[in-house]
Amino acid sequence: MTPGARIQAAAELLDEIASGRGAADDVVGNYFRRHRFAGVKDRGAISEHIYGVLRHRAVLDWWLDRLAAVTLPHDGRRRLLTSLTLVEGWSEGDIYRACDGDRFRPAKLDAAEKGYLEGLKGEKLDDPAMPDDVRHNFPSWLGPRLQSLFGKDLPREMAALNGTAPLDLRVNALKGERLDAKLALEGEGIKTESTRYSPLGLRVHERIPLATLDVFKNGLIEVQDEGSQVAALIADARPGMRVVDFCAGAGGKTLALAGNMNNRGHLIACDVSEKRLERATQRLRRAGISIVQRKALSNERDKWIKRHAASFDRVFVDAPCTGTGTWRRNPDAKWRLQEKDLAELAELQAGILASAARLVEPGGRLIYATCSLLREEDEAQIERFLAATPDFQLLPIAQVWRQTIGGKCPCAGDMLRLTPAKHGTDGFFAAVMERVKPEAALPPAEEVISPDLP
């Protein structure tokens, strides 16, 4: 493909993403499946164009509003022209040559676009006049929440969230050890480094053809961010236990929990979407896992929950959330998010947590996790739950960390909060709660036998 053809494809895909017809990863992946003639370099260039726009969309729109002599649409074409100039460093001549109106290439620039690009000459991506939400590329309504959370670290955390994420792999302990996977990947010419916190993790800083590798096809590795690996580890699911993955989705945490259980015990993967559960089938088979039973629920209050109340040692709730901690991987998600979504999700999370808690037996543990940075979805949910459910107590995360992962927990406070800037993971939150065992009942007074007095 020519540079112009790549630009045209990227602009069309950006418009499709903006229309809400699908998440960026799905839209781009579907395009590449339909256009198999696109080579590796073509795919890389198109993806770079698209994600450059998505990561910097607020800044690009600010420049469009500031410099365009006439109103230019904030569409894929104009945002991409701005990104090519300010993010990728293309010259005006390079853009003119790529946008020549030939077949499969963008239409020639009109007078307004030429004037706009002329105005962009010498400008930088950042400008002192930009408000914080524009400079750091997040929806303005989130500003007070993020400022309260990060304080003076806001610029550093937002820069990390606006960057690109590495590829994290989890080694399947049922198939081998981390060194085995590391050596196998090195044999394929792929360099890895051990993750900082997860003893099962490997990190890759390059694009790799993962699905074609024997080490992946034989189930020794799975894709999973280190933060998510840590959450599964602190659940402390052990061999022989009865465990529920309450919001299992496509099975990422289910796989990790089953591995921690050494494929011994009983693990139930629940979700309200049977299709999502079905997608886990091949992954479970590849990983050599046989202890998982899938259970589709009608909703978070399904009758199955009542029938199995107080029956499980561990109940893991990876709650649906805003996904604000995954913006490195899903930058388009931030632009779809609205304040009403947060309110609706917070209520849903509270209902899910309360319902899932019913499954935990006395002495068992309830683990709540999100890939969100927002207090409403994290600490506030735990505080609300504990206030309404006195038979549960919060376990200090430092104590849980020592018991499960070992060493010093990297987070202060009693709950786990990981961020890209501080910990190099996706933004992740987790809390571990234990159901208090009722005190052993004393025998009736008439049955109490007093010791003989001397």
The predicted-structure confidence for 182-201, as pLDDT tens digits, reads as follows: 999 999 999 999 999 999 99
User: What are the domain boundaries of the chain?
Assistant: 3-137, 167-223, 226-435
- Residue 123 to residue 240: CA distance in whole angstroms: 62
**Equal fold, 3-137 vs 226-435:** no
What is the DSSP annotation of 135-180?
A: HTTS-GGGHHHHHHHHGGGHHHHHHHHTSPPPEEEEE-TTT--HHH
pLDDT digits (tens, 9 = 90+) for 28-46: 999 999 998 888 899 999 9
The domain defined by 226-435 folds into: Rossmann fold (3.40.50)
Q: Is 405 helix (H, G, I), strand (E, B) or coil?
A: coil
pLDDT digits (tens, 9 = 90+) for 399-447: 999 999 999 999 999 999 999 999 999 999 999 999 998 874 445 544 4
Kindly report the number of other CB atoms within 10 A of residue 71's CB atom.
Answer: 9
Q: Which of 421, 425, 426 is nearest to 157 (CA)?
A: 421
State the catalytic residues: 371
- Numbers of helices and strands, H then E, in the chain: 21, 12
Lowest mean pLDDT among 10-19, 345-354, 441-450: 441-450
Residues 6+ apart with CB under 8 A from 183: none
Class of domain 167-223: alpha beta
Class of domain 3-137: mainly alpha
- Residue 417 to residue 230: CA distance in whole angstroms: 11
pLDDT digits (tens, 9 = 90+) for 110-135: 999 999 999 999 999 999 999 999 99
CA angle 175, 176, 179 (to 5 degrees): 150
Is residue 361 pLDDT above 70, yes or no?
A: yes
- Residue 350 to residue 359: CA distance in whole angstroms: 15
Residue type, 162: N
Q: Which of 193, 116, 145, 449 is nearest to 324 (CA)?
A: 145
In this structure, are residues 275 and 160 in contact, taking their beta carbons and an 8 Å threshold? no
- Alpha helices, H only, 36-153: 40-55, 57-67, 76-86, 92-98, 111-120, 132-135, 143-150
